[in-house]
Amino acid sequence: MHSRDKIRNIAIIAHVDHGKTTLVDKLLQQAGTFREHEAVQERAMDSNDLERERGITILAKNTAINYKDYLINIVDTPGHADFGGEVERIMKMVDGVLLVVDAFEGTMPQTKFVLRKALEQNLTPIVVVNKIDRPNARPAEVVDEVLDLFIELGANDDQLDFPVVYASALMGTSSMSPEPEKQETNMQAIYDTVIEHIPAPTESVDEPLQFLVTLMDYNEYLGRIAIGRVNRGVVKTGQPIAVINREGATKQSRIEKLFGFQGLKRVEIDAAGAGDIVAISGIKDINIGETLADPAHPEALPVLKIDEPTLQMT
Ligand code: GDP
């Protein structure tokens, strides 16, 4: 297991088309997780049933990179208001967010929607002014718009003190300076700002296990896959657990397989601790909002809001 202080859990939020996908791809690529052509293959594999059955492709929502000796878990978020519950749940799973804003377009309706969710969870966003390469980019004005939005949404003093990184996800460049000619030809300004400004998990590994099922994935081979954050304690392969549903009823089950994230892949691991984001298979009928707990301490985590259509999945 990683030492807790070397873990960073972030979500990435943005208005559609402001460059979230391009940014995550570049962050993964430059961290040496894979080369560009492999990334394309990985994405293409999503439609490949065989790979799905083997259980190695993941929900594109969860990715992770190793940067220096840090593990940075990145959770993608839906920008649409129909998925408000999902955005809220993801905000509870992470310790910080990257708010991506187009350097020309500035703040848009979904920027406000997702930022509100992050501020409500007391997260301090890092603002990434993206597309700094655009000839008509107006980074200084866009930062002012972002600041206005923070104020309008009632951000606290810490949140108002947000760091700003200027980037071109497309070109793979970033900088703490708004001058396009001062861009560094790598994403280091973003990695370093994440490590410096996003807090490491603080939960204890020495308490009884609690894990909140926050997202669901499914594949033919593994069945239902519960994704979430270990809220306290340690989770291990083969371990018996109590599953507490949203009504408070408890049943006994067992962790069959446990996965961490590496690049775009899910990798099998033996154990994970408080603060880790992991995927778990082997629990029949598991659902979003349920708590997995130490059978000797079957304590549920607070009930989550669920409102998106994906829950119809069986
Ligand atoms: P998402 O909807 O937020 O995931 O946005 P995408 O990553 O799919 O990007 C939307 C469009 O913006 C695509 O055509 C990208 O190529 C383009 N784009 C993303 N980042 C940049 C950038 O830094 N500069 C420029 N000029 N275009 C970008």
| Average pLDDT value over all residues in the chain | 88
Q: What percent of the chain has pLDDT above 70?
A: 88
Is 20 annotated in a binding site? The answer is yes
Q: Is the CB of 184 under 6 A from ligand 1?
A: no
pLDDT of 173 reads 97
pLDDT of 1 reads 76
What is the pLDDT averaged over residues 29-43? 55
The helix (run of H) or strand (run of E) holding residue 158 is: helix 157-160
Picking from 203, 199, 183, 219, the residue whose alpha carbon sits closest to that of residue 53 is 219
pLDDT of 13 reads 95
pLDDT of 308 reads 55
Kindly report, residue by residue over 244-275, the tens digit of the pLDDT: 999 999 999 999 999 999 888 889 999 999 99
Q: Which residues contact 300 (CB under 8 A, 6 or more apart)?
A: 244, 248, 291, 293
- In 3-state terms, the chain is what percent helix, strand and coil (to 5)? 30, 30, 40
pLDDT of 168 reads 98
Q: Is the CB of 14 under 6 A from ligand 1?
A: yes
CA of residue 17 to ligand 1 center, whole Å: 6
Kindly report, residue by residue over 87-133, the tens digit of the pLDDT: 889 999 999 999 999 999 999 999 999 999 999 999 989 999 999 99
Q: Is the CB of 172 under 6 A from ligand 1?
A: no
Give the global pTM: 0.89
* Radius of gyration over every alpha carbon of the chain, rounded to an integer in angstroms: 19
* Complex confidence, ipTM: 0.99
pLDDT of 107 reads 98
